[in-house]
Amino acid sequence: MANLKEVKERINSVVSTQQITKAMKMVAAAKLRRAQDKITQMRPYSQKLTAILNNVSSGNEGSSDLVYAEKREVNNVLIVPVTSDKGLCGAFNTNIIKASMAAINTEFAGKNITVLPLGKKALDIFKKQDYQLVDDYANVFADVSFDAVREAAEHAMEGFTAGTYDKVVLVYNEFKNVATQVVRNEQFLPMEQEASEETSTTNVDYIMEPSREYIIQDLVPTSLKIQFYKAVLESNASEHGARMTAMDKATENAGELLKELKLMYNRTRQAAITNEILEIVAGAEALGGN
């Protein structure tokens, strides 16, 4: 059985750890609120912009000449894994790395793979892999803003139009709630125009100035950048939700461990007191015998 000093040191260590995890949970909760507000405000805008784009480009004049919708033989693939800068958020980052590697080894096996990591955790992992790496945008979460994300989106879009990449795929965590994040493997380019509920039921007749072609040329890049930014916001909210859940569980585990350690401490202390009493009694009997 451990001595009192060792048990006391372990109790103090667990108490300190519990205080840290509790503080991290509170910080993650505060950040989650702001990140959740951003993504809930972005989703309707993104969905409406996509619906307008689909409606405007659905005619014969629309989608046939879209450079971002050009489908060609896939030889060069750009994978964009979106992770966090820090750990202590459960399986959040691990799930993204696994999904990215699964896509590379199955769907894109034998293709020329380039990785554009967003987040330091993805950068650290893929630095050790034998893939072409674009590491200029890994610190995007230092300041989650549209301007920072736009640069990464423009790199992917310019690479696609130049023929450097035949396909661009985003791998990120979609935010559902605090405890649930769903890994998404989403094709970013070439564009896949899907009819939304709005466009499938109504065909809005827009008045466009100066022309349909000009509107589409301006609207499509904006829509793609918004889509890219939305994926980053989803990941950002998911990260804080995952960290809040992980730290809450860690705090609970520390509490359970403290109960066991305090019970062990009391038992060890009781055993020590009993031994001292026995020694005193034995000494008294020895003196009495003399």
pLDDT tens track, the chain, 290 positions: 568 888 899 999 999 999 999 999 999 999 999 999 999 999 999 888 877 777 766 654 544 457 888 888 999 999 999 999 999 999 999 999 999 999 999 999 999 999 999 999 999 999 999 999 999 999 999 888 899 899 999 999 999 999 999 999 999 999 999 889 999 999 999 887 654 444 444 566 677 777 777 777 788 898 899 999 999 999 999 999 999 999 999 999 999 999 999 999 998 888 888 888 888 888 888 887 65
Q: What is the pLDDT of residue 280?
A: 87
Domain parsing of the chain, residue ranges: 22-193+202-246
Strand 167-177 to 180-189 pairing: antiparallel
> Pick from 227, 195, 231: which is nearest to 63 by CA?
195
| Region for residue 86 given its phi and psi (left: phi exceeds 0; alpha: psi -120 to 50; beta: otherwise) | beta
Helix axes 212-289, 4-56, angle to 10 degrees: 170
Q: What is the pLDDT of residue 279?
A: 84
Element (H, E) at 254: helix 212-289
Q: What is the pLDDT of residue 251?
A: 95
Choosing from 7, 24, 56, 89, the catalytic residue is 89
The CA R_g of the chain, rounded to the nearest whole Å, is 29
Residue 89: active-site member: yes
Percent of the chain that is helix, strand, coil (3-state, to 5): 65, 10, 25
DSSP secondary-structure letter at 79? E
Q: What is the pLDDT of residue 203?
A: 60
CATH of span 22-193+202-246: 3.40.1380.10
Q: What is the pLDDT of residue 60?
A: 44
Q: What is the pLDDT of residue 228?
A: 95
C-alpha 108/C-alpha 101 separation (Å) is 10
The tokens for 94 are 């691990």
Write b or e for each residue in 168-177: b if 16 or more Cβ atoms lie within 10 A of its Cβ, otherwise e.
Answer: bbbbbbbbee
Residue in the structure block whose two tokens are 């951003």: 38
Do the beta carbons of residue 122 and residue 85 sit within 8 Å? Answer: no
